[in-house]
Amino acid sequence: MAGKSSPAVAVVGGGAAGLTAAISARHRGAGVVILERMDRVGKKILATGNGRCNLSNTHLDIGNYFGSNPKFAYSALSRFDFQKTVEFFDRLGVTCKVEEGGKVFPVSDQASSVLDVLRHELEVIGVETVCQAEVKNIAGSKGNFTLHLGDGNSVAAQRVIIAAGGRAAPGLGSNGSGYALAQKLGHSIVDTFPALVQLKLDSPYLKQIKGIKFIGSAEIMAGNKSLAGAEGEILFTDYGISGPPILSLSRTAGDWLRRGEKVILKICLINYKSREELEAYLNDRLQKQSHKNLDFSFVGFINKRLVPVLLREAGIPDVKKNAGRVTAEEKNNIAQILQNWRFEVTGTNPWQSAQVTAGGVDVRDINQKTMESKLTPGLFFAGEIMDIDGACGGYNLQWAWSSGFIAGESAALS
């Protein structure tokens, strides 16, 4: 192993990609040091999967990845796929299980167990970890890099892997500082924006309906064209809307918003009935409940806090009128709101709320088979810092493991 003052490989960033890169490089005989800006490595891993660490997905497909050239990810994902990821963690001591939608979790249901075994492996194989070490500049080229730290110290290395993350969840370590390092070495940055994040909506009713959850579906639309859809548990908030389907759609919404387009969110509260079935149901229900006030006639069918809002949206000002007096047009309007309620999307929540960064280092200047820079020999990239991001459901962590493994292996063998 190379001396601590001059490791063969320096890894900038101790997140999922950086830790995997370090282990991969060390397993191939390279001396490795991790330089982490925070007071400990892997903080973001602890927050993944609501603290359970959704570390992969059995349905690993390039269609679940995004960016200017998502096919770039294919090589790394193929070489270090779902099965190899499970085997990797099994060797470290983490037994995995598969849940709905192909989501892979540790049997322990603890993200901390994933981080614990990674840190233990680093210690056992002799990877040096230096925390509170912010890299301010990287100079040199293959065989002769110097990494200048914020405290005035420097580290010499033969190869460098930048795995500093993106801008999402800056409190957990990724503040976008890696982009400046890449730019100084000649790389371009594709515009970044928050992904897997909640959406802000324009509606006068948000305070009234905040906290209401429902199982339904949602679509992102622009120019009356449906761009993407998802279904599952959705939550209204005081700023807009959240829930797994919304997080899945947020990248599409954010992408179109940054282009200056008007973006519409279409909500279907009753997605288990066709329009014809819903209209028939409403006719039958209102007939049976004809003696009740209109608003009360819906109690037991939809959340009662939603009822007055939906009726006003349907153009019915008198929500206390007799249910038997509802006109055919009003019934049609109610059905329309229940299955085609539309909101203008005004933005996304900020970086602090985002799970992942869309955009990043332009992959055109990176070798997809090795993760090595085409501009600076001996420089490699891993994880979220690149212009690759995945759908919700374990795809982003899989990209971190895969790209980290390939970058570490390539750096050690180059």
The answer to whether the CB of 379 falls within 8 A of the CB of 371 is no
All structural domains of the chain with their residue ranges: 9-193+358-413, 198-348
How many Å apart are CA 345 and CA 330, to the nearest integer?
A: 26
Spelled out in words, what is the top-level CATH class assigned to the domain 9-193+358-413? alpha beta
How many Å apart are CA 304 and CA 343, to the nearest integer?
A: 20
pLDDT tens column, 172-188:
989 999 999 999 999 99
The answer to whether the CB of 381 falls within 8 A of the CB of 183 is no
Beta strand ranges found along 175-261 (DSSP E): 189-195, 199-202, 213-222, 225-236, 240-242
The answer to whether the CB of 298 falls within 8 A of the CB of 288 is no
How many Å apart are CA 55 and CA 106, to the nearest integer?
A: 8
> Each residue's pLDDT tens digit in the chain (414 positions)?
333 445 899 999 999 999 999 999 999 999 999 999 999 999 999 999 999 999 999 999 999 999 999 999 999 999 999 999 999 999 999 999 999 999 999 999 999 999 999 999 999 999 999 999 999 999 998 899 999 999 999 999 999 999 999 999 999 989 999 999 999 999 999 999 999 999 999 999 999 999 999 999 999 999 889 999 999 999 999 999 999 999 999 999 999 999 999 999 999 999 999 999 999 999 999 999 999 999 999 999 999 999 999 999 999 999 999 999 999 999 999 999 999 999 999 999 999 999 999 999 999 999 999 999 999 999 999 999 999 999 999 999 999 999 999 999 999 998
> CB neighbours (10 Å) of residue 184?
13
The CA R_g of the chain, rounded to the nearest whole Å, is 25
Give the tokens for residue 275: 């329009």
* pTM (2 d.p.): 0.93
How many Å apart are CA 393 and CA 54, to the nearest integer?
A: 7
Give the tokens for residue 344: 């203008």
How many Å apart are CA 203 and CA 249, to the nearest integer?
A: 19
The answer to whether the CB of 82 falls within 8 A of the CB of 398 is yes
**Going by DSSP bridges, is the β-strand pair 144-149/135-141 parallel, antiparallel, or unpaired?**
antiparallel
Residue 405: C-alpha distances to residues 75, 142, 371, 399 (Å):
12, 19, 10, 10
DSSP 384: G
